[in-house]
Amino acid sequence: MSPTVGAIGVLDLQGGVQEHLDHLQRTGVAARPVKHAAELAGLAGLIIPGGESTCLARLLTIFGLRAAIEQAYGEGLKLWGTCAGAILLARENVGEAPFFGLIDITVNRNAFGSQLDSFQCEALAPAVAREPIPLTFIRAPKIVRIGSDVQALLQTDDYVAAAEDTRILVTVFHPELTPSLAFHRYFARKCGLSVAEADDAGLDPGWTPLSWTRFTPHA
């Protein structure tokens, strides 16, 4: 199958893959899972989803995708890391070695505590949407420092929850687990793709927490 030029890929090794694919398709953007290096061809952007960062790091190495993603990034590929993906993209991780180290931020892994400390809230990210966006934090990290070339898109209390530089977007929460398409639209535009403008929080009334299961094969 030939690559779809201008599509956004979702790293398909572990984590919230189908949920991101569902959101991307709801924005009208061509999207596909990426499990092998050859599947990076023709992509405008790649989402590294939430999951478990140590597991993802090992799988990226096993599948030979680490070097391939670094090469594609050097050739212009845009990247978005959500939760564990943000940890992998960070230049510094508190108490552990970085993985890709491509965006000048410092991340504190599991900063909110255990899985039981996961939570939901709403917050305003003015560059992304004009109305507050629903946020889902699951065993989330905190961005505790951003470099001079990095812009905070959402800051609350003592940490940054979303940030970007010219090539990379990072969020410590999970936009794919909410009805809001705002961050997926934002990343698509960052990748140079055309999507419909949305002045509100970008809520899709047709979304449900089980919408992603339409990608699951049925017997």
From the list 164, 174, 184, 191, the catalytic residue is 174
> Looking up tokens 């956004």, which residue turns up?
8
- Give the torsion sign (CA, 120, 121, 122, 127): negative
From the list 20, 23, 39, 83, the catalytic residue is 83
Measured CA to CA, the distance from residue 67 to residue 158 in angstroms comes to: 34
Q: What is the dihedral of CA 21, 61, 166, 198, to 10 degrees?
A: 10
Known catalytic residue: 83? Answer: yes
Measured CA to CA, the distance from residue 180 to residue 96 in angstroms comes to: 33
Beta bridge partners, 152, equal 163
Known catalytic residue: 121? Answer: no
Relative orientation angle of helices 53-62 and 65-74, to the nearest 10 degrees: 90
From the list 19, 39, 164, 176, the catalytic residue is 176
Measured CA to CA, the distance from residue 136 to residue 146 in angstroms comes to: 22
Residues recognised as catalytic: 83, 174, 176
